[in-house]
Amino acid sequence: MRKFGLIGYPLKHSFSKKYFSEKFEREGISGCHYDLFEIDHIEKFSSLIENDPELEGINVTIPYKEQVIPFLDELEPGSKAIGAVNCIQRLGDGRLMGYNTDYIGFKNSLDQWLDGQRPKALVLGTGGASKAIRQALKDLEMPYLMVSRTANDTENHITYDDLVANEKYLQEHLLIINTTPLGTFPNTEHMPAIPINQIGREHKVYDLVYNPEKTFLMRSLEARGAVVKNGLEMLRLQAEAAWDIWNK
């Protein structure tokens, strides 16, 4: 039996388990099983690996995309540059290799959605998920600013208060990318604190959240005329990239 799974905390509603279980059945892939491993501390990752030698492929979600790195033996160059891992392969000699398929999924999805356009972007959130998104924007040669609740010394970083205080940011940055978990089920009436009154038909909103399919952020900005997209396509693309890694 080939075993795969997802680590994270909490894991109440997992895209990955449903996706891979349906994939195995739909494509007639026998002898494979996908499990959820909800661990409340990253230190428990070592025990999981030791106690389950058949576990050969692991997806990683919040909050462990950065925390898992010290437990790995090697990082693929792309994930090393990004500084976050969402896919792990156990090699034949038992070593653990880290990858970032969020980057692949997001870059391909965004590129297709924009259809050649290259607007400046606001990236909401500075966590592990945002690192892959920022690398994809760099490689697509798209300028961006990071947005979070608190200020820091990073050159291309502003706060939500800055958005409210200076309308130039949303006038100049017509793509908004939410990398935070705000709005995820069951807390569906939450969203990042962006000034909705500054949103118009010229804006596009890519929300990495996929559950619900239309988040409070998407609904709110769509009501102002913005074009919106959720993270479901990105998730499908990153899942297929992970499957390719586990089978190469």
Active centre residues (catalytic): 65
CA-based nearest residue to 217, from 165, 243, 180: 180
CA-based nearest residue to 9, from 55, 89, 71, 68: 68
Backbone torsions φ then ψ of 246, nearest 5 degrees = -70, -15
Q: Is residue 82 within 8 Å of 131, Cβ to Cβ? A: yes
Token look-up 């010394």 returns 153
Q: Who contacts 139 (Cβ-Cβ below 8 Å, separation ≥6)?
A: 107
Q: Who contacts 83 (Cβ-Cβ below 8 Å, separation ≥6)?
A: 66, 69, 131
